[in-house]
Amino acid sequence: MRKGLKLTDILVTIVIAVAFGIVYILWGSIYYSVKPLGLHVDQLIYGMWFIAGPVAFLVMRKPGVALLAEIAAASGEFFLGSPWGLTVLLYGVVQGLFAELVFMAFRYKKFNMSVAVLAAIASCVGSVLMDFAYGEIGALSLWNLLLFMIARFIGSIFFAGVFAYYLVKVLEATGVTNLVRPVSSKDYAALDQK
Amino acid sequence: MNVSSAETWLHKINPSLKLFVLIVLCMVALFIKDLNYMINVTMGVLLLFLCFSGHPLNRILLLSIPFCFIFLSTSSAMILFGQGETLWFKWGLISITEESFMRGLLVGFRALLFAVLGLTFSLTTRPVNLFYSLMQQVKLKPKYAYSFMAALRLIPIMLEEFQTIRNAMRVRGVERKKGIRSLYFKMKAYSIPLLSGSIRRAHRIAVAMEAKRFSDTRNRTYYYEFGFSKNDHGFILYFVILLLAGLYLSVQFPYLSI
């Protein structure tokens, strides 16, 4: 078998990601409508921006897909004219990379909710690291920083972990995932049946 | 929506080079900790955006509105809740200090810089050109580049499908629920058909491309050819001068003493 992603895998991943890119753009306005509430309530919904990686991986179940999806979603958001501009590209690469590392740590063999949640947490860590460089959040007062982190972690576990998992679960019911997943030994066994 | 624009020298720059220079500038900006310097660099980039994007001024001003929000929202948290020694104002949890105020402005200007750079890029670059150029100059594999281009073409179809689902729900008299449950229902009702439809379509496109012998070899011919020109030198020179002159001015004529 040839190594690496095939054209079909790449195209499907990128299309899923671009669809999420549109969601990311729309999410920006929701983010700003929540922002005035203050006290980092907005961080609770920040997790939505990590969802493309886990969803794409859970759908495709192949190596490299999570990273590609998060980059593609970020560039889709970028091309559609995100007000954050180049920020989203840099963040996207880091978030995708961190999610990918989690899936890699499980040798791309686990597709359950806990691995999705772990990937979400990893993406969140990546984004927080970026925030230390970009937003200088290390200089916030301690109580404020803690509030910020807790809100963001809860949000990412909910959106990019739990929500992503159930979204793919429902997608599986439509049968569409069978198109793109790698064949398993079960599929071969089905062929042998007389 | 009519988004046509005049061609300026920014349009003629090699797209890969443009992206590369802007990303490098963003990386550099992550390490600029001096407020005066940051202000100078941001001004230089704003100048490019306002004068050379080739779009009419009223559209430029319309597109600038979100920038104000970004500036305010990014800097406000740091100004109100940042650490610092020299206290200016305190009210409950809010404490504004000189250090937090300056750092808030720095963060705000950095966000502004990133935003303006990004918008300048997307206003002056066609995505198709970028991917053709990435294949030719950066040797991006064609299967990635063409997948991106195909996906971007699908965006209008996705929006159309979104509209169709909405109309279908209206025609069938789907009841409007309220609160969190309606949000959940809506997310499910829209995202599942949109996603599954998109996956099926993407799969069909890929099968069709392979059936037509889409090859991933790099020595292929291109409909659009990209090289380098004088504009590219000018572009790099602009940012080199901006970074040096900005540094010089920030040392010699600072706006704020820190």
Q: What is the average per-residue pLDDT within B35-63?
A: 88
Residue contact A83–B119, C-beta within 8 A: yes
Chain A residues with CB inside 8 Å of B118's CB? 78, 82, 84-89
3-state class percentages of chain A: helix first, strand second, coil last, to nearest 5: 80, 0, 20
Of chain B, the percentage scoring pLDDT greater than 70 comes to: 96
Higher pLDDT, residue B119 or A137: B119
Interface check B203 vs A, CB under 8 A: yes
Residues 106-165 of B with CB under 8 A from A: 106-107, 110-111, 114-119, 121-122, 127, 143-144, 147-148, 150-152, 154-155, 158-159
pLDDT of B187 reads: 80
Question: What are the residue ranges spanned by the domains of chain A?
Answer: 7-177
pLDDT of B185 reads: 80
Question: What are the residue ranges spanned by the domains of chain B?
Answer: 15-131+228-252, 142-211
Interface check B59 vs A, CB under 8 A: no
Contact A116, A86 (CB under 8 A): no
Chain A residues with CB inside 8 Å of B196's CB? 171, 174, 176
Question: Which CATH topology does A7-177 take?
Answer: Arp2/3 complex 21 kDa subunit ARPC3 (1.10.1760)
Residue contact B26–A76, C-beta within 8 A: no
What are residue B91's phi and psi, to 5 degrees? -150, 105
Q: What is the average per-residue pLDDT within B33-38?
A: 89
Residues 96-155 of A with CB under 8 A from B: 133-137, 139-141, 143-144
Interface check B198 vs A, CB under 8 A: yes
Distance from CA of B151 to the nearest CA of A (A): 5
pLDDT of B2 reads: 52
pLDDT of B216 reads: 81
Q: Is the pLDDT of residue B54 over 90?
A: no
Residues 15-74 of A with CB under 8 A from B: 15-19, 22, 32, 35, 40, 59, 72
pLDDT of A97 reads: 96
Residue contact B202–A22, C-beta within 8 A: no
Average of per-residue pLDDT values in chain B: 87
Q: Which of B58-72, B100-114, B173-187, B220-234 has the lowest mean pLDDT?
A: B173-187
Interface check B77 vs A, CB under 8 A: yes
Interface check B201 vs A, CB under 8 A: yes
Task: Report the chain B residue with the minimal C-alpha distance to residue A146.
Answer: B81
pLDDT of B237 reads: 94
At B235-249, the pLDDT tens digits run: 999 999 999 999 999
pLDDT of A1 reads: 42
At A23-61, the pLDDT tens digits run: 888 888 888 777 767 677 888 989 999 999 999 999 999
Taking CB atoms and an 8 Å cut-off, how many pairs form between chains A and B? 169
Distance from CA of A169 to the nearest CA of B (A): 10
CA distance A183 to A62: 11
Q: Is the pLDDT of residue B33 over 60?
A: yes
Torsion sign across C-alpha atoms A165, A167, A173, A175: negative
Chain A residues with CB inside 8 Å of B147's CB? 7, 10-11, 13-15
pLDDT along chain A (194 residues), means of 10: 78 94 87 75 89 94 94 91 83 94 92 94 94 80 88 93 92 89 78 74
Q: Tell me which residue in B74, B103, B195 faces A19 most closely, judged by beta carbons.
A: B195
pLDDT of A4 reads: 79
Interface check A176 vs B, CB under 8 A: yes
Residue indicated by tokens 């580049």: B145
Chain B residues with CB inside 8 Å of A180's CB? 199, 203
Of chain B, the percentage scoring pLDDT greater than 90 comes to: 42
User: Residue A2 in 3-state DSSP?
Assistant: coil
Best A25, A62, A86, A148 residue to mutate vs chain B (most B CBs within 10 Å):
A86
